[in-house]
Structures are given as C-alpha cells and as structure tokens.
C-alpha cells in the first residue's frame, strides 16, 4: 500500500497553495474519470490529491455574453444539454454527447477532459518496463513504432511517439478557436487552444502547455454565425463507448452557397487536436459539393505519415471530413 493524502479545496488560491505545500507527487483531481483509471494502471502515481471539484464558480456556464464561457468544473453532460449550445453550436454539443457513456458524462468535467491522456496501449500498460514508452519513461523508446499501431496517429507524429490524442471535445474547441483560462501560483493567463497541446517531437512526455501548479479554470469560445452550420462526425469501431478512429469538427460561415470561412479540426488521427488549415483554405470562397468536400478531406491528410497497420486512417479521415463538410453545408442558419 502506498500512502496517499487528500484535501478538498474551496478556492483556486487554496488549491494552488496546497499544491505548492505538497511538493513532488501532488495532483489535482476533479471528476476523476481519467485520473483514477491511470492510477489503477500504475501510469499515474500521485502522493497527494487536491480535490478541485468544489471550487467556487467552477461549474459556471454562461452563454449570454460576447463569448461562450464554460467553467472548467462544468459537467460534460450539462454543457451538452445547454439550450444555446445545442441550438447555436451543435459541433460543441455533439462532440460531448458522442464522448464516453452517459454515466461518465455525468461525472466528467469539461476542463478535465482537456487533459485526457492518450489511449495508446503501450502507454497504458501498467507493467513498468514491459514495453518502452517515451511518454511514460522519457528516453526508453516507443513500442508502437513498428508494433501494434492500428489506432495510432498519422498526423503530427515523430520518431519518438505516434500516440493519438483521444478527445472529442478538444477537437470541436480547436475548430472554434477556443481559449483556455489558467490560474496558478504566478497568477492568471489565457492561451489559445492551438497553443495548449504540444506536438511530441523529441519530448512526448510534455503534452500540455501548463505550468506546475496551474489549474484550468475556464474555456471561452468566440460567438460566430458559423456555429449554427456546424457538426461533429465521429467514426469508431462500435457506435458507442469507443474512441474515434477518425473524427471531424466543421463549422461554416457562408455567403449564399459559397463558404466565406471554414473552421475545421480533426480527431482520432493526430497526436493533438489537429487544425486542418489546408482544407479550410481549399474551401474558402468555394461552393460546396461532394467533389470539393473530398478534395478538402484529402488536402487535410497530404502530410500524413502511416505506420504498419494504420494507413487506412488516411482515406478514412479524408472521407470522414468530406462527410462532415457536406453535413455542415446542408444545415440552415
């Protein structure tokens, strides 16, 4: 048995002070749906848990201002069922409703979901040393490269890691130019979600642009007319309770039947939520049809790098994106 301390914080300041006092081995916990799994697998081994589920105002959902604002402690289920989110930003609601089971969505928080770690089977193998994994043990190698890589990434990979980013919600937020609010020992800051997730490069154990002791306190999403003409499409091995083999978040601002501005992000195929700028550029100023949609899909995967068993993801991803573009284009404002 390992000793484990636990406290419940009521304010961000109380939480960050507790983190600093606890020293090495401290970890924040809110919904706990990811951390408990990783603790059971032996991937995470915290000595001190600081519960931030009851922070004042952490569950706030505000859709009435210039931006949509979601407190990091808001439950996934509550955000997915919010009337304004469902009506005006279906890409956000759909990304949440297609994630995990209803039971998990009733417990998991939107802030914690941002920090969900990869489902790479080598990373999640709890037997230390059984398989090399640079995320778990930096410098040990990557067993997935040349190994069982069917579910691994084809975009943003490196010679050190091909682990796929597993989330749905972060993909939709990436398409919608969300910003992440952080607070820690040195104060508050806000960064674009595009800067929140790090490419693996040579240091895949660094996954998030978050400093020691910092807490995700909120998520803001700019309001845009493209929200109503948006969708999140997820393709997986089974219809429910499965992670994406490929997914696409698409939102379109239109002038008549022509795209004025496309917002596109991909999931299930990359090492982080992947903004598909090439696909956006191809669509902008064009009328949507099946040919253009598929061309955009294939443009998004022009730099894809397949392993031994996941080359199918390139065509699957392109067609998933094409279908999402067509679906979003058919939606009425």
> Would you say residue 3 has pLDDT above 90?
no
Distance CA 247, CA 236 (A): 9
- CA-CA-CA-CA torsion for 194, 259, 292, 165, nearest 10 degrees? 20
Distance CA 59, CA 322 (A): 35
Condensed to tens digits (0 to 9), the pLDDT of residues 154-179 reads: 999 999 999 999 999 999 999 999 99
User: Where are any strands of DSSP class E within the chain?
Assistant: 5-8, 26-29, 48-51, 61-62, 67-71, 179-184, 187-192, 215-222, 230-235, 246-255, 258-267, 274-275
Angstrom distances, CA of residue 53 to CA of 10, 50, 167: 9, 9, 21
Q: Is residue 299 within a helix (H) or strand (E), and if so which, with residue range?
A: helix 290-300
> Would you say residue 126 has pLDDT above 70?
no
For every residue of 41-78, DSSP letters joined together read HTS---SEEEE-TT-TTTT-EE-SSSEEEEETTSBHHH
pLDDT at 84 (0 to 100): 98
What's the mean pLDDT in 79-108? Answer: 95
Contacts of 17 (CB under 8 A, 6+ apart): none
What's the mean pLDDT in 204-228? Answer: 97
Q: Give the lowest-confidence range in 16-30, 137-151, 159-173, 293-307.
A: 16-30
Helix axes 290-300, 312-330, angle to 10 degrees: 140
For every residue of 226-264, DSSP letters joined together read GGTSEEEEEE-SSSSS---SEEEEEEEEEETTEEEEEEE
Condensed to tens digits (0 to 9), the pLDDT of residues 255-277 reads: 999 999 999 999 999 999 999 99
Laid out side by side, the sheet with 5-8 consists of: 5-8, 48-51, 26-29
Q: What percent of the chain has pLDDT over 90?
A: 85
> Would you say residue 199 has pLDDT above 90?
yes
What's the mean pLDDT in 240-263? Answer: 95
Complete domains list, the chain, with CATH:
5-51 (3.30.43.10), 226-330 (3.30.390.50)
pLDDT at 273 (0 to 100): 98
pLDDT at 36 (0 to 100): 85
Q: Please, are residues 141 and 134 in contact by the beta-carbon 8 Å criterion? A: yes
Distance CA 92, CA 88 (A): 9
Residue 242 binned pLDDT confidence (cut-offs 50, 70, 90): confident
Q: Which of 55, 54, 62, 56 is nearest to 79 (CA)?
A: 62
- For residue 80, the SS3 value is helix
- Dihedral sign (CA 219, 222, 223, 227): negative
> Would you say residue 239 has pLDDT above 90?
no
Mean pLDDT estimate for the chain? 94
Distance CA 83, CA 232 (A): 17
What's the mean pLDDT in 325-333? Answer: 88
pLDDT at 129 (0 to 100): 63
Q: Please, are residues 216 and 181 in contact by the beta-carbon 8 Å criterion? A: yes
pLDDT at 63 (0 to 100): 97
């Amino acid at each position: 048995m390992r000793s484990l301390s636990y406290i419940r914080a009521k304010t961000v300041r109380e939480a960050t002070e507790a983190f600093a006092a606890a020293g090495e081995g401290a970890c924040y916990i809110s919904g706990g749906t990811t951390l408990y799994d990783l603790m059971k697998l032996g991937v995470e081994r915290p000595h001190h848990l600081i519960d931030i589920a009851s922070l004042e105002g952490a569950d706030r959902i505000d859709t009435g201002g210039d931006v949509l604002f979601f407190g990091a402690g808001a439950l996934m289920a509550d955000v997915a069922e919010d009337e304004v989110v469902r009506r005006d930003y279906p890409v956000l609601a759909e990304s949440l409703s297609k994630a995990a089971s209803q039971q998990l969505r009733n417990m998991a928080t939107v802030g914690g979901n941002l920090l969900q770690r990869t489902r790479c089977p080598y990373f999640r193998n709890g037997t230390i040393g059984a398989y090399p994994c640079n995320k778990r043990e930096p410098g040990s190698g990557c067993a997935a490269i040349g190994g069982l890589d069917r579910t691994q990434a084809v975009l943003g990979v490196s010679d050190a890691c091909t682990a796929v980013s597993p989330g749905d919600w972060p993909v939709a937020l990436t398409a919608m130019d969300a910003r992440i609010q952080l607070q820690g020992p040195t104060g508050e800051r806000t960064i674009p979600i595009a800067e929140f997730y790090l490419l693996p490069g040579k240091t895949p154990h660094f996954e998030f642009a978050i400093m020691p002791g910092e807490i995700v306190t909120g998520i803001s999403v700019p309001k845009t007319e493209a929200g109503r003409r948006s969708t999140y499409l997820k393709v997986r091995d089974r219809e429910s309770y499965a992670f994406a083999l490929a997914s696409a978040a698409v939102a379109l601002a239109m002038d008549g039947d022509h795209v004025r501005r496309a917002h596109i992000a991909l999931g299930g195929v990359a090492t982080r939520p992947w903004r598909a700028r090439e696909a956006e550029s191809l669509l902008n100023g064009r009328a949507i049809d099946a040919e253009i949609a598929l061309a955009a899909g294939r443009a998004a995967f022009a730099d894809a790098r397949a392993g031994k068993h996941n080359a199918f993801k390139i065509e699957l991803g392109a067609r998933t994106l094409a279908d999402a573009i067509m679906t979003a284009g058919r939606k009425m404002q």
